Amino acid sequence: MRRLLLVALGIGLALPAQADMYQDASNAQLPEAMVKLLSGGALIGPVHLGYPGASPRIYAYGNSYGATSGGGIFGPYIFNTNSDTVDCSSAVGCYGTYFGHNFGGATDKGNRTGSFTLLNLTEPTGNAGGPTMWYTATGAESRASAADGGTPGTPRGDVFAGNFIATLTGTSANMNALVGVEIDVSAGGLGPVAYKSGLSIIQQTTDVHQATVDDAAFLIANQGGGSPPGWRNGIAFGAHSGWWPMAAAGTMIGTIAPFPGGPAYAAANGVDFSQVSFSGAAFKSKAFAASDNGEVTLGRTTAAASAPGAANGRLRFVCGTTAGTAKLVAYAGTSATPVTITDNIGAGVSGC
């Protein structure tokens, strides 16, 4: 197999002796050499360093072929730190890999992306007809294989697989957008896809503990201290910058049929807002609202009545017998005939 590897020189990098991971600390004779590209120990090109203008500072390419063996990690470009014993307590933190990119000025034009990865399936693989395989452009894992000094009731150590920060600071003003993460999905091509989601949160089979304090698949919070303005919407559908995202027959918040053989669909509560005080409504739509103190507001119904179904009942708020009043009626089962609960309620009811 032809193995391609970027190896850092002069910074104490050592790779484990696995079948698919190679190192070479010799032949460091490149001008201003910080990296070199290896194929079985032989220098291959091109490797460009320190070019002026828009030319690449480091530009490497090659082909990978053959077969892996020994269960190791294979990658055309591998950076590996076997042991990190650096005291980083006086710094912001230690980074295994850091890319910095400053820009700005009258000659700077066009978009900028600090780091980008493209994984492109160009033709059918040898997996066709076999098990479904995953193809991931960017992946990350933060792993704790040992305790970090914590005890029951006094936990220590925070493990994050990813951390994205969008910041406006200095003299920045009147910017158009500030977005922590944007996830774009486009299902084109010649046929449909079986599963599509903008964000999937999967609890793995190796997960056996719930958290003792906060335990949530999706959590929104602010840092403690300071005076953050708070969000106008915690979860919003639709935006001024785009079109309405839901299909006409879609469900904005719903559940999907379970995988065969899994546990029964069960939960203690559907929605629990009991810790929140609402100045308006806890639930609100065009013709329905439930307030914080238990009051329910019904809009006057003008649509034609229909039977609610064999196992259902329905309440409707309609015009009363006396002009300007309303009445509350009920329907049940397969009958579309209303039963009046109370009539001639109030006065000045619009449209009655």
Q: Average pLDDT of 76-100? A: 81
Identify which has the larger pLDDT, 153 or 50: 153
Q: Of how many residues is the chain composed?
A: 352
* pLDDT value for 60: 62
Contacts of 90 (CB under 8 A, 6+ apart): none
The CA distance from 317 to 327, in Å, is 6
* pLDDT value for 154: 96
pLDDT at 189 over 50: yes
Q: Average pLDDT of 250-261? A: 89
* Domain end point (choices 18, 51, 84): 84
Give the count of beta carbons closer than 10 Å to the beta carbon of residue 81.
Answer: 15
The CA distance from 26 to 106, in Å, is 44
Residue 288 lies in a domain: no
Residue 222 lies in a domain: no
* Domain end point (choices 52, 84, 116): 84
Give the count of beta carbons closer than 10 Å to the beta carbon of residue 49.
Answer: 15
Residue 292 lies in a domain: no
Expressed as residue numbers, the domain containing 72 is 1-84
The pair of structure tokens assigned to 243 is 């079109």
The CA distance from 16 to 72, in Å, is 10
Domains: count for the chain: 2
User: What is the rounded end-to-end Cα distance, in angstroms, of the chain?
Assistant: 83
Query: Apex CA 215: angle with CA 214 and CA 219, to 5°?
Result: 80
Which amino acid, residue 190? L
* pLDDT value for 278: 93
Q: Average pLDDT of 61-80? A: 68
Residue 32 lies in a domain: yes
Please report the DSSP string for 37-73 in residue order. EEETTEE-S----S-STTS-SS------BS---TT--
Residue 75 lies in a domain: yes
Per-residue CA distances from 18 to 15, 68, 76, 318 (Å): 8, 11, 15, 77
Per-residue CA distances from 277 to 72, 230, 289, 297, 352 (Å): 55, 15, 15, 18, 34
Residue 124 lies in a domain: no
The CA distance from 231 to 234, in Å, is 6
The CA distance from 38 to 200, in Å, is 38
Q: Average pLDDT of 340-347? A: 95
The pair of structure tokens assigned to 84 is 């990190």
The pair of structure tokens assigned to 150 is 């914590």
Say what the pTM is. 0.76
CA 347 to chain centre: 51
* Residue 8, helix vs strand vs coil: strand
Residue 270 lies in a domain: no
* Domain end point (choices 59, 84, 109): 84
pLDDT digits (tens, 9 = 90+) for 192-235: 899 999 999 999 999 999 999 999 999 999 998 888 999 999 99
pLDDT at 30 over 60: no
Residue 42 lies in a domain: yes
* Residue 74, helix vs strand vs coil: coil
pLDDT at 292 over 80: yes
* Residue 264, helix vs strand vs coil: coil
